[in-house]
Chain A
Amino acid sequence: MNRKGLAVIAAAVGAGLLSSAAIAQEITNKDKQSVIGNVNIAPVTQDKLNTADKSTKDFLLTNGNYAQTRFYPGKQISRDNVKNLRVAWIFQTDVKESLETSPIVVDGVMYVTTSFSHVYALDAKTGKQLWHYAHKMGPITVYCCGPNNRGVQVLNDRVYLATLDSKLMALNAKTGEVVWSTNIADPELGYSETMAPTVVNDKVLIGTNGGEYGIRGFMRAYDAKTGKLVWNFDTTPENSVGVWATKDATGRDMHRDIQAEKDMLAKIGDPYAKLGGGVWQNPAVDLATKRIYFVVGNPSPDLDGSSRPGDNLYTDSLVALDLDTGKYVCHFQYIAHDVWDLDAVSPPVLLNVKGKDGKVIPGVIHAGKTGHIYVHDRKDCSLIRFSEAMVPQENMWTLPTKDGARMLPGANGGVEWSPIATDPAQELAYAINLHQPMTYHVQSSPYPNGKLWLGGAFKVIPGEQQSGNITAVNYNTGKIKWQVKTPEPMIGGILATAGGLVFTGEGNGKFAAYNSSNGKELWSFHAGAGVNAPPSSYMIGKKQYIVVGAGGNTQLDYKRGNNIIAFTLD
């Protein structure tokens, strides 16, 4: 994932001084939980979660369902009437900082999170606050790319949250009270949490941030009832060397000096212990085979490969594990020995896809920071095809230099952590992209114990035009079906609906609906702060709602706000 975020837009900065008192409201010295209204939800059973993809009433998982399709099956809001979409309510959180939350909706109750690991339960019909959990943050937080939180999940009567100071927590879904809390890892070593947990079969699945900090990444399962560790999978195995791959997933030469790496390996041994490999986003769960599929981020340090010889497995990879045991099933590495931080962050999606022979098979797709959408065989993780590039690519793979080497995409992508959406009937995947020309600078230094360890710097090239786009890709052909250019790089997420629409937002505050077949803009709204979070949809009674967070983004320095905005038809 990308660290320090090489921002482009500094418009929000300098608008005035935020008082220390304002900050104090966001980070509390003790857990604070306030209950205002009643939460009357039926327990969220595993059966209900298993069929989340068919529910128009609820939006139960971060990306809609265990396959992470971000396809909402309701169609009340359609191409014909979306022009009549109006604000139903706006909820203002207490935290005006980067907002990446994926709202989930359970039985008319919405759960959203904010930066600094706050959780709110809201009445999904009115936006009225029901309860608020303000996490007692430990004094030491070490994180890259903003104090974000991307959401929670509910199983039975508990809400599961992972916090910036690297704790996993279960809260009472009706009151926000802490049921249990478990330390995941030591923040002082560079660990933090911003992802939403995925809860399945009484296991809470969680990865870790820290790929910019010399950590050893992992995916873990904790017992949903007790918070005890069930299994751990290290994303950097003790033999991380791999096959000395010289080409990336698309066949391009990565200009590795294999002999120099082998010499270094002989000298220092396998570098797995501080090799990074963060997992930033939710795993997809294949309920039939009881496997999970997730992507692993960059090796540490990002730009300097000299101290980490080998392919740096399983960084920059799609990985599949057995859900029950955490045992390795298969992997596919996109970039071996990455020195550009063009890693794998956007959550993978399980779909049926056409194999190489044209037969439909269970597949898994991932949108990379390289700007390609990769299509895999779910059986063995092998690559079936990759899409046309969604963003300009130049000078790949030019190695970073001390004075800076220009290469596109810039280190934020392509597709950053933003989840993609899909529409299986149209065989389309929808991705939001960044185009940020950058120079890549390398500089060797040892890990500075809990401080950013990039091995150099990424620098946005002043004066070069930046932009973004929304791209629809046919995942069975790899061809781009349509593309809408946006004035600024895009980060946040996207939702597709059975109403023939996709919804997504921009850093300038625009939130819009597009015809999912041709990209034609059909409706838009200006939120006043960056819309850099994934939208969700749900129904209350006979009314469909669209909801999205508008709070800007730290990584790209988009204008901050504190709004959760729900829309419905007049």
Chain B
Amino acid sequence: MLGKLMTCAAVVLMLASAARAETIEEKAQVCAGCHGADGKPIDKTIPVLWGQTAGYIYMQLRDFKSAARKSEIMEPLVSEFQRDDMLALAEYFSQKPWPDLGQPRAPKDVAAKALAASASIGCPACHLDRFQGDGTVPRLAGQGRDYLAKTIDDFRTRARANNPGMSDLMQAASPEDLTALADYLAGL
């Protein structure tokens, strides 16, 4: 994994100089270095962007720029971005088809555990029916399993600090239930 991430970082560095002045399509090329030229990320801890909700992508870019969300890779990449750039990139990726990562559907017992946890803390109230997301709330269905698990963990530990409400919710659920939830969501 580390190797892939380093490759990813190298690609980003290589292209970073180009990230300042080109078209949205060219900017998106930089993103493709890690998030995948075909929409499938090159590493399992990197999120799917293709087909993600535009509002969510925009808010994350905004938060990387302000460093409300920490990432050694993303923060410098977006530092020069203007609001319009971020909105345009968000729109660009949101219009791409969601890729099929080929992740297995969760077994029934895991799904039941996941749905009970989801019902208790109210995930569908924001992520909507079948976890499709909308606006500034991300789609979770079919997102990479390892990215989901890492994100949940980062919210629980508050390592990811740009959405304390999510941290509160993740802390109100048990780690076992959340593991089941990651398996379930990835398999949708």
Question: Taking beta carbons and an 8 Å cutoff, which residues of A are in contact with B?
Answer: 3-10, 12-18, 20, 23, 27, 96-97, 116, 137, 139-147, 164, 404, 441, 443, 445-446, 448-462, 552, 554-555, 557, 560
A140 contacts B68, C-beta separation under 8 Å? no
Instruction: Report the separation of the CA atoms of residues A461 and B87 in the bound assembly, to the nearest whole angstrom.
Output: 40
A3: chain B residues within 8 A (beta carbon) = 125
**Among B2-10, B18-26, B30-38, B111-119, the stretch in contact with A:** B111-119
A12: contacting residue among B68, B129, B134, B168, CB under 8 A:
B129
Partner of B122, one of A141, A404, A451, A460: A460
Report if B82 contacts A (CB, 8 A): no
Interchain CB contact under 8 A, A10 and B184:
no
Task: Say yes or no: B51 contacts A20, CB within 8 Å.
Answer: yes
Q: Is the CB of B135 within 8 A of A13?
A: no
CB–CB B120/A460 < 8 A: yes
Number of interface residues of B (CB under 8 A): 48
Contact status B54-A14, CB under 8 Å? no
- Closest Cβ of chain B to A499, distance in Å, is 36
Once the chains are docked, how many angstroms separate the CA of A141 from the CA of B87?
13
In the complex, identify which listed stretch (B70-78, B90-98, B143-151) lies at the interface while the others stay far away: B90-98
Chain B contacts of A449 at CB under 8 A? 63, 68
On whether the beta carbons of B188 and A14 are closer than 8 Å, the reply is: yes
Given A4-B122, A139-B54, A452-B165, check contact A97 B135 (CB 8 Å). Answer: no
Whether the Cβ atoms of A13 and B98 lie closer than 8 Å is: no
Q: Does B45 contact A (CB under 8 A)?
A: no
User: Of A15, A27, A140, A451, which one neighbours B163 at CB under 8 angstroms?
Assistant: A451
A554 and B125: CB pair below 8 A? yes
Residue B59 CB within 8 A of the other chain: yes
A-B pair number, CB within 8 angstroms? 158
Q: Is B175 an interface residue (CB 8 A)?
A: no
Taking CB atoms, residues of chain B closer than 8 Å to A10 are 115-116, 118-119, 124
B97, A142: Cβ atoms closer than 8 Å: no
Cβ of A412 to closest chain B Cβ, rounded Å: 10
Closest CB-CB distance, B175 to chain A, in whole Å? 16
Which of A12, A17, A141, A443 is the one whose CB lies under 8 Å from B135?
A: A141
| Closest 7 pairs (CB-CB, A-B) | A141-B135, A445-B164, A5-B125, A452-B165, A10-B119, A139-B54, A6-B122
Report how far A94 CA is from B152 CA in the complex, Å.
34
- Chain A residues, Cβ within 8 Å of B142: 17
B172 within 8 A of A: yes
Contacts of A18 in B (CB 8 A): 129-130, 132, 141
Q: Which A residues lie within 8 Å of B141 (CB)?
A: 17-18
Whether the Cβ atoms of A142 and B164 lie closer than 8 Å is: no
| Contact yes or no, A139 B91, CB < 8 A | yes
Q: How far is the CB of A559 from chain B (nearest CB, A)?
A: 9
**Residues in chain A near residue B162, CB distance under 8 A:** 448, 451
Are the CB atoms of A145 and B136 closer together than 8 Å? no
B168 and A139 form a contact (CB under 8 A): no
Q: How distant is A149 from chain B, measured CB to nearest CB, in Å? A: 13
Which of A15, A96, A116, A554 contacts B124, CB < 8 Å? A554
Provide the bound-state CA to CA distance between A66 and B138, in Å. 39
Are B116 and A554 in contact (CB-based, < 8 A)? no
Residues of B within 8 A of A (CB): 51, 54-55, 58-59, 63, 68, 87, 90-91, 94, 97-98, 111, 115-116, 118-126, 128-132, 134-136, 139, 141-142, 162-169, 171-172, 184, 188
Q: Complex Cα distance A12/B130, Å?
A: 8
- How far is B171's CA from A441's CA once the two chains are assembled, in angstroms? 10
The answer for the CA separation of A450 and B97 in the assembled complex, in Å, is 27
Further 20 A-B residue pairs, CB within 8 A, beyond A14-B184, A140-B55, A443-B167: A6-B122, A9-B119, A10-B118, A10-B119, A14-B115, A96-B129, A139-B58, A140-B59, A141-B135, A143-B135, A441-B168, A448-B68, A449-B68, A450-B59, A459-B121, A460-B121, A554-B125, A557-B119, A557-B122, A557-B125
Nearest-CB residue, chain A, relative to B114: A14
Instruction: Indicate if the CB atoms of B124 and A20 lie closer than 8 Å.
Output: no
Which of chain B's residues have a CB closer than 8 A to the CB of A15?
130
Cβ B122 vs Cβ A7 within 8 A: yes
> A4, B125: Cβ atoms under 8 Å?
yes
What are the residues of chain B within 8 A of A20 when measuring CB–CB?
51, 97-98, 132, 139
Name, among A18, A461, A552, the residue most crowded by chain B CB atoms within 10 Å (CB to CB). Answer: A18
5 contacts between A and B (CB under 8 A): A10-B116, A13-B118, A142-B135, A445-B167, A450-B136
Q: Cβ of B118 and Cβ of A451 under 8 Å apart?
A: no
Residues of A near B124 (CB, < 8 A) are 7, 10, 13, 554, 557
Chain A residues with CB under 8 A of B128: 97, 146-147, 554
B12 to chain A, nearest CB (A): 25
Q: B119: which of A8, A141, A450 is its contact (CB, 8 Å)? A: A8
Report B-chain residues with C-beta under 8 Å of the C-beta of A13. 115, 118, 124, 129-131
Q: How far is the CA of A139 from the CA of B111 in the complex (A)?
A: 32
| Interchain CB contact under 8 A, B119 and A554 | no
Which residues from B are CB-within-8-Å of A12? 129
Which A residues are CB-close (under 8 A) to B68?
448-449
Q: Is B125 touching A7 in the complex (CB atoms < 8 A)?
A: yes
CB neighbours (8 Å) of A560 from chain B are 129
Known: A459-B121, A557-B125. A443 touches B164 (CB 8 A): yes
Chain B residues positioned under 8 Å from A450 (CB to CB): 59, 136
Bound-state CA distance A432–B123 (Å) is: 24
Which of B90, B126, B165 lies in contact with A453, CB distance below 8 A?
B165
Would you call A23 and B132 a contact (CB within 8 A)? yes
Are A554 and B129 closer than 8 Å at their CB atoms? Answer: yes
* Most chain B beta carbons < 10 A, residue from A9, A14, A448, A452: A14
A55 to B187, CA, bound (A): 53
Please name all residues of chain B whose beta carbon is closer than 8 Å to the beta carbon of A139 when the two chains form the complex.
Answer: 54-55, 58, 87, 90-91, 94, 135
For A139, the closest partner residue in chain B by CB is: B54
